[in-house]
Amino acid sequence: MRKIISFSLALVLLWGCAPSRKSKKILTVWHWMTDRQEAFEELAKKYEAITGVRIRFELYSPPGAYSQKIRASAQGRTLPDIFGILGEKRDFASFIKAGHILDLTPYMEENNSSWKNSFFKEALRVNIFGKDNPFGVKPGIYGVPIDVMNIQVIYNKSLLKKAGLGPQPPQTWKQFIDYALTVRNKLGVQGFASGWSEVWLIYCFLTDYAFNIMGEDKFFATLKGEIPYTDEDWLRVLSLFKELRDKGIVTSGIITMQNKEAERLFSNEKAVFSFNGSWCVNVYKGMNPQLDYGVCLPPLFSSKYPMRIWGGAGSSFMVNAGSPKREEAVKFLRWLTQKEQQAFLARKTNNLPSNKECIGAIPEVLSEFADDMESTTHPNIWPAQEFPKVVETLTKGVQYIITGEKTPQEVAQEVQKVKEEEIRRNK
C-alpha cells in the first residue's frame, strides 16, 4: 500500500513539474491582411518552436469591419497584445494619446539602434511622431512596419520589344507619349490603363508631376494657400491630362475604371503602361504568371526637379501599452522584422519587405520597386494638408479634362475658388 501511495505521489509531483499547456504564453495579433494569413501562421509555428511562445494571428476582414472592431475594443479596453491601425495619422495619434500604444523608441534605439537602422527610413517615417507634431503626441516611434509600398509606372517589356522599342522604359514624358503611340499604331494595343474612377489614384499621379514640375517648396506653398491653382505651373500639370486625352494615350473608359479592372487589362496585355502600387506584383502573378513587365518612376516632364512618388510603410503593427505581455510582444515583432522572416514574407506574399537588408533575397520585380524607395513621399507626412473638398474638386476636374468637358484653365479656376472658400470657412 505504501508503494502505491509513493507511486501516486511521484506522479503528482511529475505532473506538477511538467509544463502546462494552459500556462504557455500566448500572444494575440489582430490584422486585416487576407493575403498574409497563411504566411503569418507558418511564421507563428516557427516562432513557437524556437521560443515556446504561441502566436495567434486573428484575421478580421474586410478592412472596414476590422477598423470598427479595433475602435470598439479600444473603447472597451479589450485590445489584443499586437494590432494594426487603418486610418489617417490623426487616428493613430488618438490611440496613442488614449494610452493604447506603446512607445517603441527605447527598444528601437537600444544596441546602437540596430533594430531601427534595419528598416527603410521611409518605412519608419509614418510610425514616427516628431517634435512639435500637430497632434500633441510625445515624440517617438510607435509602430513596427512589416512591409513597404510605393506607386509607380508599370510597363510591358514584351510589347515594347515587339514594337521595336527595346525592353527599356521611357525616361521622359515625351518618350512616354511616343512609346504609347508607337505600340498603339504597330500592335493595336492601348497606351495607359489605371483605375481612375478611384480618384485617389488621380491625385497620386497629379501630385507626382506637381513635385516634378514645380518642386516641393512651391507645391507645399499651394497647400498652405500661398500659391493659387491658377499659377502657370499648375496649368502645366493639368495640361498633361489634356495631352493624354488628345493623343489617345489613356484607355477608353479610364475614369469609370476600377483599379482591379485596370490590373486585369494590363495583365492581359491590352495596355502597355499602367500606374499601380507594389501590391500589383501579387495581383499580376495570380492573373498572368507569365507576364513580362518592369517598374519605373513616372517619366520626367521636367529636369529641374526630381520625381517624388507616393510610398512608405504598407502595414504596421503596434504593441498594446496595456498588455501584461508587452515585452514578449516587442520581442516577437523584433523577430518578425529580421532579415530571414522578412525575406520569407516577401517571397510568400509578394509584398515589399520593410527590412532593407533582405533586398537581395526577394523577387526581381519587387527589387525594382524597392530601388526607388528613396524617392517616396506621402500625404501623411507633408507639412501641410489640402482641404478634402479642394482635392475632390481637383480630381473630379481631371476627369472632366479627360472627357473633354472642361479645359485645364476652367478646372484651375474652379479649384482656386473652392480653395478660397475653404480658407475663409476654416478661419
Residues 6+ apart with CB under 8 A from 375: 150, 297, 306, 307, 308, 309, 311
**Is 175 a member of any domain?**
yes
pLDDT at 10 over 50: no
Q: How many domains does the chain have?
A: 2
Q: Which domain holds residue 412?
A: 150-310+382-425
**Is 5 a member of any domain?**
no
Claim to verify: residue 271 and residue 169 sit in the same structural domain: yes
Dihedral sign computed on CA atoms, order 201, 203, 207, 213: positive
Q: Which of 325, 343, 371 is the last residue of a domain?
A: 371
pLDDT at 341 over 80: yes
Claim to verify: residue 304 and residue 212 sit in the same structural domain: yes
Kindly report, residue by residue over 394-421, the tens digit of the pLDDT. 999 999 999 999 999 999 999 999 999 9
Claim to verify: residue 282 and residue 418 sit in the same structural domain: yes
Average per-residue pLDDT in the chain? 92
Claim to verify: residue 231 and residue 320 sit in the same structural domain: no
Claim to verify: residue 176 and residue 187 sit in the same structural domain: yes
**Is 377 a member of any domain?**
no
**For helices 199-223 and 232-246, angle between their N-to-C axes, nearest 10 degrees:** 160
**Is 2 a member of any domain?**
no
Q: What is the mean pLDDT of residues 114-143?
A: 92
Cell 510610398 belongs to 311
Residue 20 is predicted with a pLDDT of 41
Residue 54 and residue 27 in contact, taking contact as beta carbons nearer than 8 Å: yes
CATH number at residue 154: 3.40.190.10
**Is 251 a member of any domain?**
yes
Claim to verify: residue 250 and residue 306 sit in the same structural domain: yes
**Is 52 a member of any domain?**
yes
**Is 4 a member of any domain?**
no
Claim to verify: residue 121 and residue 157 sit in the same structural domain: no
**Is 98 a member of any domain?**
yes
Residue 151 and residue 339 in contact, taking contact as beta carbons nearer than 8 Å: no
What is the percent of the chain where pLDDT is above 70? 95
Residue 238 and residue 398 in contact, taking contact as beta carbons nearer than 8 Å: yes
Confidence of residue 379 (pLDDT cuts 50, 70, 90): confident
**For helices 259-267 and 280-287, angle between their N-to-C axes, nearest 10 degrees:** 50
Claim to verify: residue 400 and residue 273 sit in the same structural domain: yes
